[in-house]
Chain A
């Protein structure tokens, strides 16, 4: 088994960018986001002390990262903040720029991030893993949700993404 440092180096180089995207989806504030990202890296390094290779590096890293991020949500729940919603209630969600016509890349990304931030942590995990290209079985393994439930959620996510972010395509046509 590789050393704790070697495992961390590998994880940071392979998943570094994905971890940044994950932190950005849980925390909008730039400084807090950096703190969260640092916490994730520290937790990953510490977690490798107990890594026995029973699952893939990817599964392990995402599990730790999502748990740290979820902990961050719990610790920093702000009074008066909008309640988080599930994918089933997503129709009630309003995201800034929904009614706008401009669909440039940066704007779409910001809307996507804001949309993700309003979801409950577990659904946020699923959509983030989906966006990172993780398959349903991988998502189930990382999140601990049943494969059937993941499939349902992914189906719903695809529908939502097409409905909300497919507007640009119609505009371009």
Chain B
């Protein structure tokens, strides 16, 4: 087989005749964008619900001082989370022929930075964790009777464990994205 035969063999291989109608392309892109928007909206909804519950409770009354401080701190923490969701939301940017890999790199860097144990991560922990803990302490103070007290203790310990677990999980996620960024850099260097 000569080189030309190899080229001919390659070019004449059977094809599935894959085609996408432009309407299908538009629909698919709209579905993808909708999914991403949905994820962001879900995040907002969770934040809004938490803020609503704590603000409503404060408005109705019946909280002691510790609970009120905890509720205010939680509202601040959740608001910060909502702001981070907004700042890190996926933006559907137009891509150009040369920029696809750069676009991917930007996305990977954005995701790595979100999980990176840098200042933004510690701010998230610092702003989000104390509120529920103070609120739980206030709740325990208001309900020293068993079994509510034990339940609050278990809930608080679980919350602390979950908060601590975010450290290795985020570390692992950041490393995973960094590996992909490195692989992409190697690929671009080769070019």
> Which secondary structure characterizes the binding site on chain A?
helix
Report whether A131 and B7 are in contact in the complex, using a CB–CB cutoff of 8 Å. yes
8 pairs, CB–CB < 8 Å, chain A vs chain B: A20-B16, A46-B29, A50-B96, A51-B96, A64-B95, A71-B101, A133-B7, A158-B3
Please name all residues of chain A whose beta carbon is closer than 8 Å to the beta carbon of B190 when the two chains form the complex: 86, 120-123
Report whether B9 and A63 are in contact in the complex, using a CB–CB cutoff of 8 Å. no
Q: Which of A20, A34, A42, A161 lies in contact with B25, CB distance below 8 A?
A: A42
Known contacts A9-B22, A165-B1, A166-B2; decide if A60 and B97 are in contact (CB<8 Å): yes
Report whether B11 and A45 are in contact in the complex, using a CB–CB cutoff of 8 Å. no
Binds A, one of B63-71, B122-130, B179-187: B179-187
B window 11-52: CB within 8 A of A: 11, 13, 15-20, 22, 25-26, 28-29, 32
Give the size of the chain A interface in residues (CB under 8 angstroms): 59
A window 30-48: CB within 8 A of B: 34, 37-38, 41-43, 45-47
Please name all residues of chain B whose beta carbon is closer than 8 Å to the beta carbon of A147 when the two chains form the complex: none
A137 within 8 A of B: no
Report whether B10 and A131 are in contact in the complex, using a CB–CB cutoff of 8 Å. yes
Nearest chain B residue, comparing its CB with the CB of A132: B11
Q: Which of B2, B100, B180, B187 lies in contact with A43, CB distance below 8 A?
A: B100
